[in-house]
Structure 1
């Protein structure tokens, strides 16, 4: 597939569209994707095949087909799959993401004009802040906040005062409607109003290219006016996909961000940076959107949410749970900080030391404990417990991470003294093959060993695929030894006695004494079900070993490629039979 010609449209803009777009969300509308490890697989839509060889990597926003060698990003896919022009695809994706463009390629000219205007206005705001009179007038605020000069400059903080916009228009000689379009002026009747007049200015940067796309303004004097205002949505600013401070964090960590601390306001971010906590960002209020969540997790796998310690802040965190759980994969961590009553990070940092706040961060509670916190005072009566459990299990299906889902179920069971098998039975009561088992034997290989010890004739059902590479661990060695002995001596009873002089007899004896309660009497069916589960786990292990070996798709040799395709087919077939 050839590289597309992006014509006169900015590469920054193209990168912005690709960055904002969730490639999995789009592709899943047209092809069936199955997640295996960190990648998604499908039958290739660009050539005929029986086995899935089309791979999509969500984090790299890239697809590749092992069969026909086609590859590219979301723009390439839509051009070739939907037979659309480049401009049509860019229009479609820009509209989806709320980014302005038009089909006549005017975008670059207009965007540059808007961006340049924002940059020049901000220069005036900064100059105005450092004007001796204004800086002296505002010094009470900076002294109270204890903000350092380098932090003020890092965030390009400015100040809007009387006749500043008139000065800008005189210097730049641009149409007033430009300032309306970018949210600096508001037209009312025949008059133009400077919405940021007499406010401390916080420029909002595009987190990808560092362009100024909007402003936040803090009212310092008039009590009858809103304390904070943001730019209204415009041709270059959409609040729903902006994260304040993320550009600065990315510059500091060179795009390698281990965690992000999400707070509500500009001053929270700046006060945290001021004491060296330079991974703080703001959602521009307490209403976190899906777009913002995607942006956050595109940049880190650990998110700590710290909203204000008032009723609205606490309620906002609670309302976020249903939304943010949808992004809780096994490689991500979400935790919460509950601030003291009527405090936010900015106000609290004026009363406590840096070390104290770091202790607060380190004491953040994970999302599951945070969920339980809402119900801790209402779990006394029997009927309340039933109601709470019903509410909690609704969250289970929201969680995409299989391990996360499993540990959340374990927490529910521990909290309310429920056996996890009973909970699973309730959740998946249609699964006829479900087995109630002791904790020690909660392992598919041990279950198979238990079955063979009880009914050695089941060994005749075992045919280990020749292409399967076996894990060399203690339990697998014992399992294979049992199969070998059963086949060699055609053992159909008293298998345990045969191992009396073996070093692992005590281990086998322990397993033999454990009772397994099975829902139906079809031992053969249960045994084959667990056996296939073991095969599936082994295929997964083989797949992971291939991925670790090749590291890059360009290093695939023909043998690895064929084996990887074979593994994909086996895993897809076997995984349909299991609820994990």
Structure 2
């Protein structure tokens, strides 16, 4: 899709939808007074703390702090990126999404112009392969192969399996009837051109597996050969719409099968994913011929708290598992888990689940090693940990990996676990940790560096006050959440935040207030208050949901969500007078404090030896007055 989505369109869309309807279609709401409540869909809880306000078109969870407008809810609940959430919401009210010229420049516009036809083409290609599986004269060997692997017609339909017939140009003849279509097939990686200029189908005599993105769009294919050709498995090349280091096979199907994913299983092949799904284990995914990357894992951890890696128990499988561990370390925030399951030699999830059923495979999952066990056992391999030298070596090998963990309780527990394994006092180990950290040793010499490379289309930092940075080609898989670090001038923060909360509670109170009195006040909260007032005055029809949308994905947005969530504590009666009193307090404070500060500064800049006794006495009195006012202000502020 070309271009940015105008802010005016976003506001109009939010004005037309009812957040209660949007959420109630996905989470059953119960009327509680003037609002609606439910158990929060974003964290586990027994008592409902998730509240939806129809008046303000805003939701907030008092348990986990999740909050926002209808678009924000769709993004989090449906795992959508911003443009897709807009399209989804717009379709419910019959609106066509408007676009402005892209900020991404000519290259960005060309990329957006080419991507939409590619999606349409790939759906057409998927339909062609599915038709061949049902009707081609040589389909029997493909059907026989799928039955041999124990797959039913229902699971084949669920995953959209198809058949690429033998022959050089079946797809080319069926779909590439024009030069334009032929060029698109080339761009999509579905055709290959040899050194002599001959063009032919990439996939021939293979069972075909469509690869879908998180929206369910076909973006690539994988193929398993039916004859003796090599390679046994073949994937589409990277294209405008397909990036191997970001996508996971089966993730879309897992999201469709599970409203809420508690865990995700990462396996090595298409057939493993499909066989597990057929036996009711519908949360398996597979990487696409690449090592598991940090990008993969961040995508998974946004949807669940536990990732289990399943690998062969041979040397190659353990190397692959360790590469996955390396990618996981920076992602291991508190509350997240990573475990590792190694199958017996010659076994894979497909063979295990077909032989023993879901119960046997689920029992095996319970035996998966926690990340810390796999890490320390890998580091200790070949070492005599009963000796001082062996324990010292273990400490030296493991420390660089633990340093890659994000700050938090889990990181501290890992240091404690290493201390117990080495016999070191925790304080001694922490002193070693505080030293200059060396680079992590290359435990897996064949490790791919792919997981250290940012995914394509990595966005710049979000810009407040505009949805323009949510351009599809520039958008990360999910807006980054950052903890605000305000630098608010002392004495203004509580008053400014109280005023902000009142505006979020009842935006119309800001329509006529003058912001000139705030111009000379400094601080992040005061600046945000001023911007919020000006926004309401530019768009008087704004409700809480619309106001939050202007700062979505920014530190200010997180502060606004928190303040909006506290609004239920503010009584409706007299809110306008309360807001007026706060604004007067801010305005009245400035001239008094500015004059006093100017006098103090003037005397401070004077050479103290040249200051008269009277001026010294005046300085002492002014400093005492300033201190008295500061203490009085602290007592008065809410």
Q: Which residue of 1 is the match for residue 153 of structure 2?
A: 149
Which residue matches 1:411? 417
* Map of 1:213 onto structure 2: 219
The aligned residue for residue 338 of structure 2 is: 334
Which of the numbers 310, 333, 338 marks the counterpart of 1:306?
A: 310
- Residue of 195, 202, 208 corresponding to 2:202: 195
1:273 deviates by 0.5
Q: Does 1:249 align with 2:226?
A: no
- In the TM superposition, residue 222 of structure 1 has moved relative to its aligned partner by 1.4
Cα contact 2:353–2:360 (8 A) shared by 1: no
For residues 290 and 283 of structure 2, what CA distance do their matches in structure 1 show? 18
Q: Please list the CA deviations of residues 52-92 of structure 1 after superposition, one character each: whole Å capped at 9, or x if unmatched.
A: xxxxx999899xxxxxxxxxx999xxxxxxxxx9756556x
Q: Give the CA deviation at 1:141.
A: 1.7
Q: Distance in 2 between matches of 1:74 and 1:391?
A: 42
3-state SS of paired residue (1:360):
helix
Would you say the 8 A contact 2:211–2:249 is kept in 1? yes
Q: CA deviation at 1:174?
A: 4.6
Q: How does 1:507-526 map to 2 (within 5 A)?
A: none
Distance in 1, matches of 2:235 and 2:66, equals: 31
| Distance change >3 Å, CA 138–CA 361, structure 1 → 2 | same
Check the 8 A contact 2:67/2:565 in 1, yes or no: no
Counterpart among 204, 211, 219 of residue 204 in structure 1: 211
Q: Is the 8 A contact 1:181 1:234 kept in 2?
A: yes
1:555 and 2:558 matched: no
Q: Deviations over 1:107-155 (max 9, x none)?
A: 5553232111111111110111122744432233223211122111100
Is the contact made by 2:244 and 2:289 (CA closer than 8 Å) also made in structure 1?
A: no
The CA distance in 2 between the partners of 1:219 and 1:58, in whole Å, is: 50
C-alpha displacement of 1:414: 2.2
**Equivalent pair of 2:266/2:284 in contact (CA under 8 Å):** yes
What CA distance in whole angstroms lies between the structure 2 residues aligned with 1:5 and 1:193? 48
**Aligned-pair CA distance for 1:243:** 1.0
Give the Cα–Cα distance (whole angstroms) in 1 for the partners of residues 100 and 409 of structure 2.
40
Q: CA deviation at 1:418?
A: 2.7
* 1:275 lines up with 2:279 in the alignment: yes
Secondary structure at the aligned position of 1:379 is classed as coil
Distance 1:290 1:59 in 2: 24
Which of 4, 9, 22 matches 2:7? 4
What's the counterpart of residue 233 of structure 1? 238
Deviation at 1:427, TM superposition (A): 2.9
Of 171, 180, 183 in structure 2, the residue corresponding to residue 177 of structure 1 is 183
- Which has the higher mean CA deviation after the structures are superposed, 419-428 or 122-131? 419-428
Kindly state the Cα deviation for residue 378 of structure 1 after the two structures are TM-superposed.
2.6
User: Residue 362 of structure 1: CA displacement?
Assistant: 1.5
Which residue does 1:420 correspond to in 2?
A: 426
Q: Distance between the aligned counterparts of 1:74 and 1:251, measured in 2? A: 19
**Residues 307, 60 of structure 1: alpha-carbon distance in 2 compared, 3 angstrom cutoff:** farther
Equivalent-residue separation in structure 2 for 1:403 and 1:365 (angstroms): 20
Q: Quick check: 1:113 aligned with 2:120? A: no
Find the residue that maps to 1:334 and give its secondary structure: strand
Residue 186 of structure 1: aligned partner: 192
Choose from 351, 354, 357 the match for 1:353: 357
Unaligned runs of 5+ in 1: 8-37, 39-56, 63-72, 76-84, 92-100, 431-549, 563-580
1:366 aligns with 2:370: yes
Residue 383 (structure 1) aligns with: 389
Task: Indicate the residue corresponding to 1:138 in structure 2.
Answer: 142
**Alpha carbons 1:286, 1:307 under 8 Å: kept:** no
> Using the alignment, how far apart are the partners of 2:178 and 2:66 within structure 1?
42
Q: Higher relative contact order at CA 8 Å, sep ≥6: structure 1 or structure 2?
A: 2
For 2:458, the equivalent position in structure 1 comes to none
Q: Is the 8 A contact 2:291 2:323 kept in 1?
A: no
- CA distance in 1 between partners of 2:281 and 2:368 (Å): 15
SS of 1:358's partner is helix
RMSD: 3.7
Change (3 A) 1:332 1:168: same
Q: Tell me, what secondary structure is at the counterpart of 2:224?
A: strand
Q: 3-state DSSP class of the match of 1:186?
A: strand
Aligned partner of 1:285 in structure 2 is 289
Query: In the aligned structure 2, how far is the partner of 1:340 from the partner of 1:351?
Result: 14
Asked whether the equivalents of residues 309 and 344 of structure 1 are also in contact (C-alpha less than 8 Å), the reply is no
Call closer, same or farther: CA 1:298–1:60 in 2, change over 3 Å. farther
Normalising to structure 1: TM-score of the pair? 0.57
Residue aligning to 1:321: 325
Q: Structure 1 229/258 Cα, relative in aligned 2: closer, same or farther at 3 Å?
A: same
Per-residue deviation at 1:220? 2.0
C-alpha contact 2:123 2:218 (8 A) present in aligned 1: yes
Distance 2:131 2:217 in 1: 19
Q: Name the CA shift for 1:322/1:107 in 2 (closer, same or farther; >3 Å).
A: closer
Q: TM-score, normalised by structure 2?
A: 0.52
